[in-house]
Amino acid sequence: MNKKYIFLVGIGILIIAIDQILKIWILRHFELGESIVVINGYFNITYVRNFGAAFGFLSESHPMFREVFFLSMPPVALVVILMILRGVRENDYFQIVALSLVFGGAIGNYIDRIRFRYVVDFLDFHIQEKYTWPAFNIADSAIVCGVFILLVLMFFEARQKKPVVTAHS
């Protein structure tokens, strides 16, 4: 098996396992909306159900549309990731890891969508209860980190391809 696919499977399984274990723990030990303070004024563990996408995107849309959309899009995204990975060089570890993080995170949240029709979120960051970030989970974190790495790689790749302008005397 190709090294990049071993990375994809290994990192994907690690992300899925951590994500699902923590979500199971939340479901067993918390009531919906229940919260415990971890760092006073900054971080709580709070059980939240997210019927939308990141930051509640589409959470207010028609339930039938939401279900069809959120149950059909992840498989498409996973196929796209596999197609992209096919073209990645085997020694391009940053891109392989980034795609693997997105892949594992997408599957982690997809498992919730299939089981519950919503995603279990629990990481609740805020600043003194004045500025709050929408709750998220490990799968979301993996997706965001993977996309961030891909954006940084694209930025540096674009800078390297940019022609250098020199002054001629």
List, for residues 20-55, the tens digit of each pLDDT value: 999 999 999 999 999 999 999 999 999 999 987 765
* Amino acid at position 71, single letter: L
Domain that holds residue 12: 3-154
**Sole residue written with tokens 């279900």:** 67
Does residue 113 belong to any structural domain of this protein?
Answer: yes
Statement: residue 77 has pLDDT above 70: yes
Task: Quickly state the pLDDT bin for 157 (edges 50, 70, 90).
Answer: confident
Residue among 19, 112, 124, 140 flagged as catalytic: 140
Does residue 165 belong to any structural domain of this protein?
Answer: no
Does residue 63 belong to any structural domain of this protein?
Answer: yes
Helices (H), the chain: 3-29, 63-86, 93-116, 138-161
Please state the rounded mean pLDDT for residues 7-11.
96
Query: What tokens were used for 33?
Result: 């909306």
Residue among 19, 112, 121, 124 flagged as catalytic: 121
Does residue 169 belong to any structural domain of this protein?
Answer: no
**Whole-prediction pTM value?**
0.87
Give CA separation, 133 vs 32, 97, 159, in Å. Answer: 18, 26, 32
What would the pLDDT profile of 81-128 be if each residue is shown by its tens digit? 999 999 999 999 999 999 999 999 999 999 999 999 999 999 999 998
Instruction: Tell me if residue 19 is catalytic.
Output: no
Instruction: Tell me if residue 140 is catalytic.
Output: yes
Q: How many domains does the chain have?
A: 1
List own/partner pairs for 4-8 with CB under 8 A and 24 or more apart. 4/85, 4/88, 4/90, 4/96, 5/85, 7/93, 7/96, 7/97, 7/100, 8/85, 8/96, 8/99, 8/100, 8/103
Does residue 57 belong to any structural domain of this protein?
Answer: yes
